[in-house]
Amino acid sequence: MITRHWRRRHNLYKLVGSRCRSCGRVFYPYSQRCIYCGSREVEQARLEGDARLVSYSIVYSVSDEAKYEAPVILGMVDIGGVKVIAELTDVSPGEVEAGMSLEPVLRRVTVNGESGLIYYAVKFRPRLGGSGSGGD
CB 46 to another protein: min, Å: 10
Pick out residues in 37-76 that bind another protein (CB under 8 A): 64, 67-69
Could you say whether residue 13 binds another protein (CB under 8 A)? Answer: yes
CB 15 to another protein: min, Å: 11
**What is the total count of residues that contact another protein (CB under 8 A)?**
21
Among 1, 2, 9, 59, binds another protein (CB under 8 A): 9
CA dist., res. 37 & res. 71, Å (int):
36
Could you say whether residue 89 binds another protein (CB under 8 A)? Answer: yes
CB 16 to another protein: min, Å: 10
| Alpha-carbon dihedral sign for residues 46, 17, 124, 56 | positive
Q: Print the binding letters for residues 95-134 with another protein: x by CB under 8 A, - otherwise.
A: ----------xxxxx--------x-x--x----xx-----
Q: What is the 3-state secondary structure (H, E, C) of the chain?
A: CHHHHHHCHHHHHHCEEEEECCCCCEECCCCCCCCCCCCCCEEEEECCCCEEEEEEEEECCCCHHHHHHCCEEEEEEEECCEEEEEEECCCCCCCCCCCEEEEEEEEEEEECCCCCCEEEEEEEEECCCCCCECCC
What residues line the site for another protein (CB under 8 A)? 9-10, 13-14, 64, 67-69, 87, 89-90, 105-109, 118, 120, 123, 128-129
